[in-house]
Structure 1
Amino acid sequence: MQLVDDRERTRELGRELRRYFIEARLVSQAFAELHGLHATDLQALIEVMDAEGRGSPLTPGLLGAALGLSSGATTAVIDRLETLGHLRRVREGADRRRVYLHYDEDGMALAREFFGPLQERILEVVQQFSAEDVEVAHRFLVAVVDAAAAHRRSVQAP
C-alpha cells in the first residue's frame, strides 16, 4: 500500500472535513432551534443515544463527564430534556439509587423524522462506493476523530 505524502491533498481533505463539520453543526442547530433545545442539550441527547446504541446507558455523572459539565449544569440539562419529553431517568437493577438516562421514544421519533431524510441521502452516497472504499473511509474517519480527540485532551485545561 502506497501512503499519501501529498500536502496539497491533505489540505484538500482538511477543507472537506471542515465543510462537513460546518454542515453537520448547521443541521444540528436547525434541529435544536426547531425543538427549543440548546446546543448542549443536543450534545447530551447524542451522548445518551450513542451510549444506548452501545448497550451501556449513561448515568448523569457519566453524561456530565462526557460533556465537561458540573453536576449542577448536568442536572439542568437533564431536567430541560426530561421536561421537553426527549429524555427520561430510569432506576434499574438491584441498586435503585443508580439512575440511568434513556432517550424517550417521543424524542426519538422527532429525531427520526428530522434526521431520517439526511440518513437516506447519506446512504445513497455510501451506495456509490465499493465495500472496500467504505471500509477505508471508515478507518480514515476513525483515525481523524482519534487524532482530534488526542489533540483536544493535550490542550484542554485539567
Structure 2
Amino acid sequence: MVNHEPEMEIVHLLRAVTVEFGVLQGEFAAGHGMHPTDVRALICLLDAGRAGTDATAGWLGAQLGLNSAGTTSVIDRLVRLGHVVRVRDERDRRRVLLGVDERALELGWAFFGPLIDRTVDLLQGFDDTEVATVRRFLLGMREATTAKP
C-alpha cells in the first residue's frame, strides 16, 4: 500500500484555502449587494483586461457557464451597481465590450488588498526555485480542475 499522507495533507490544505476564498468572496458580495456569481464575473473581466482579451457578453457567459439570459442578468446588475461598463468596440461598432469600472477596482482593493499584501509578503520569503514550484503546482491544479472527465 502506498502512503499518500503528504499529498493528501496538501489536498486538504488546498481545500481549506479554497473554502476560505469562497467565504471571503461571499462576504464581499453580500456586503456590496452582489451575488457570488457577480464576483466571479468581475474576476473574469479583470483577468480578461490583464490578458488583453476582448470581453463580450457571450465570452463572459462562456466563462461563467451561464446561458444568455443569466449572463444578461449578471451584466445588468453589475452595470446598475456601477461596477461594469459597456463600451462600443472601436474596431467593430456592432460589438459591445465589457470593462470593470474604476470604482469596482477601488472597492476590490479596499476589501482584498490586505490579503493580496499578505500573499505577496509570504511569497517574498520564498526563493526563486520555491516560487517556481508554487507557480507550477497552481498552474497544474488549475489545469486539473478545468479538465473534462
TM-score normalized by structure 2?
Answer: 0.95
Bigger mean CA deviation after superposition, 134-143 or 91-100: 91-100
Q: Name the CA distance, whole Å, in 1 between partners of 2:34 and 2:143.
A: 28
Which letter maps to 1:15?
H
Partner of 1:74: 71
Match of 2:34 among 29, 33, 37: 37
Which letter maps to 2:29?
A
What's the CA shift for 1:6? 5.0
Partner of 1:125: 122
Partner of 2:96: 99
Instruction: Kindly tell me the number of residue pairs found equivalent between the two proteins.
Output: 148
What are the equivalent positions in structure 2 for 1:1-158 lying under 5 Å apart?
6-150=3-147, 153-154=148-149
Q: Name the CA distance, whole Å, in 2 between partners of 1:111 and 1:83.
A: 17
Q: Name the CA distance, whole Å, in 1 between partners of 2:139 and 2:3.
A: 20
What's the CA shift for 1:128? 1.4
User: Deviation string for 1:81-118 (max 9, x for gaps)?
Assistant: 00001000110223111011100011111011111111
Q: Name the CA distance, whole Å, in 2 between partners of 1:57 and 1:112.
A: 23
Contact 1:90 1:99 in 2 (8 A): yes
RMSD: 1.1
Contact 1:48 1:57 in 2 (8 A): no
Q: Where has structure 1 moved over 4 Å in runs of 4 or more?
A: none
Unaligned runs of 5+ in 2: none
Query: Identity of aligned pairs, percent?
Result: 43
Unaligned runs of 5+ in 1: none
What's the CA shift for 1:15? 0.5
Bigger mean CA deviation after superposition, 5-14 or 41-50: 5-14
User: Deviation string for 1:63-92 (max 9, x for gaps)?
Assistant: 001111111110110000000010001102
Which letter maps to 2:126?
F
What's the CA shift for 1:57? 2.8
Q: Name the CA distance, whole Å, in 2 between partners of 1:122 and 1:94.
A: 38
Distance of aligned partners of 1:6 and 1:128 in 2 relative to their CA distance in 1, 3 Å threshold: farther
What's the CA shift for 1:124? 1.3
